[in-house]
Amino acid sequence: MASRSLGGLGGNRGGGGGGGRKSLSARNAAVERRNLITVCRFSVKTLIDRSCFETIDDSSPEFNNFAAILEQILSHRLKGQVTWFGYESPRSFWDYIRVACRKVSQNCICSIENMENVSSSRAKGRAWIRVALMEKHLSEYISTALRDFKTTRRFYEDGAIVLGEEANMLAGMLLGLNAIDFSFCLKGEGLDGNFPAVIDYTPYLKFTQSSDSISSDEEELRTLGSSGSESSTPENIGPPFIMDENSWFNKCKRVKQKYQLTLEQKGYLEELLRLRENQLSESVAQNKILLQRIEDSDLAHKLEKEQLEYIIVELQDQLKSCQSLDQLSAEVSLSQTSLDPGQSQGDGKRDTLNLISEGKEDTPSLLGLCGSLTSVASYKSLTSLKSNDYLASPTTEMTSPGLTPS
């Protein structure tokens, strides 16, 4: 009876141990999934922040860490490939992506399969991550692969991230990477598939010391080092009080340093603010001067325009008056010619007489009176006779008996 009771107790203990191992395994798997998803979210945020200042390429530690995290997520609880002999060989996540992402329009699967410098499956998977990021289609690839649940179930075991609720979170957080312009070289050392990817958790770990904590990290290390040898002797009763006073002194010193740093920053900001205010006042004064100059130039332009318009009006009036004067003078000349026809006829007769007299200058009677015209004196006397009207008219000359030629 005793042996049976002991056996029953042993059986109960064995059953309890099996249940505890299962619960512990489930907890470990859940913690692992949560850790990978959380660190992936941090990595995406870090990439987005870094892309604001520089281009993301293969040399960026933020990208290398993100690629390692994504590779770990896609390789989480990935089934091995069973050979003909029944052995299970490890496989890469590229085998799953190659099958599950065939339905993506204009995918890069064939291009990566045909790459000459990439031979291993792991290297092809890393090349796919870079090409998908440069194409800004990584989130679309992951979403398409996760929707193919049958293929995903065929490649992954139970408890994998891509089979859990975390998969939807993964596709959503990768969507933010479409706003980043990546630049990668597909022939670099980052595609080497001989070494597994290792995640660096240190950029995402931050320990904030509580304000209730008295000692600093250096003092704790010093305390741990000194407490190893003679911590049990009664002579070492006093040092804790000394360490306590030193820790308070060091803490006050750190607070004082922070206060001094804050004062320096405050003075710098005040000086910067004063300079900016001076620059602003100078800019406002210059703006006022420029506005005044613009107003003065506008006023001068208006005055000049008015003067030009006045001059144009005056010139138009003068032109009109000149035209009216020309018309008036033409009318006066016409009226004078219509009122004095006799005078015009007398002028005509006088012109005809002049022409007749000029035509008869060489007649023998004139030569007999005035002598020969070969001398200048006789020609002058002839002109004087003409001007004094001593010559008779042609009719009288012909009838006068005393002027007959000899």
3 state DSSP class of 56: strand
Provide the residue type at 316 as one letter.
Q
What does the alpha-carbon distance between residue 178 and residue 133 come to, in Å, rounded to a whole number? 7
Kindly state the average pLDDT of the residues 196-217: 70
Q: Which residue has the tokens 């008869």?
A: 360
Cα radius of gyration rounded to whole Å, the chain: 61
Kindly state the average pLDDT of the residues 368-377: 44
* Structure token digits, residue 282: 């100078």
Per-residue confidence band for 244, with pLDDT thresholds at 50, 70 and 90: low
What does the alpha-carbon distance between residue 55 and residue 57 come to, in Å, rounded to a whole number? 6
Of the two residues 187 and 143, the one the predictor is more confident about is 143
What does the alpha-carbon distance between residue 281 and residue 103 come to, in Å, rounded to a whole number? 64
Q: What is the DSSP letter of 299?
A: H
Q: Which tens digits make up the pLDDT trace of 121-159?
A: 899 999 999 999 999 999 999 999 999 999 999 999 988
Determine the longest span between alpha carbons in the chain, in angstroms.
212
pLDDT at site 22: 76
3 state DSSP class of 243: helix
pLDDT at site 298: 93
What does the alpha-carbon distance between residue 191 and residue 180 come to, in Å, rounded to a whole number? 21
| Least confident segment among 143-157, 237-251, 333-347, 382-396 | 382-396
pLDDT above 60: residue 98: yes
What does the alpha-carbon distance between residue 112 and residue 355 come to, in Å, rounded to a whole number? 122
pLDDT at site 55: 87
Whole-prediction pTM value? 0.49
CATH code at 28-204: 1.20.58.900
CA distances from 108 to 31, 101, 114, 171 (A): 34, 9, 10, 19
pLDDT at site 126: 92
pLDDT at site 333: 85
CB 62 within 8 A of CB 42: no
* Structure token digits, residue 324: 């009216």
Per-residue confidence band for 226, with pLDDT thresholds at 50, 70 and 90: low
User: How buried is 379 (Cβ within 10 angstroms: 0-12 exposed, 13-18 middle, 19+ buried)?
Assistant: middle
Cα separation of the two ends of the chain: 212
Kindly state the average pLDDT of the residues 314-322: 91
Q: Which tens digits make up the pLDDT trace of 65-80?
A: 999 999 999 999 999 8
| Length in residues, the chain | 406
Long-range CB pairs of 337-344 (<8 Å, 24+ gap) are none
pLDDT at site 341: 56
Kindly state the average pLDDT of the residues 32-56: 90
What does the alpha-carbon distance between residue 347 and residue 340 come to, in Å, rounded to a whole number? 11
pLDDT at site 368: 43
Strand pairing partners for 81? 89
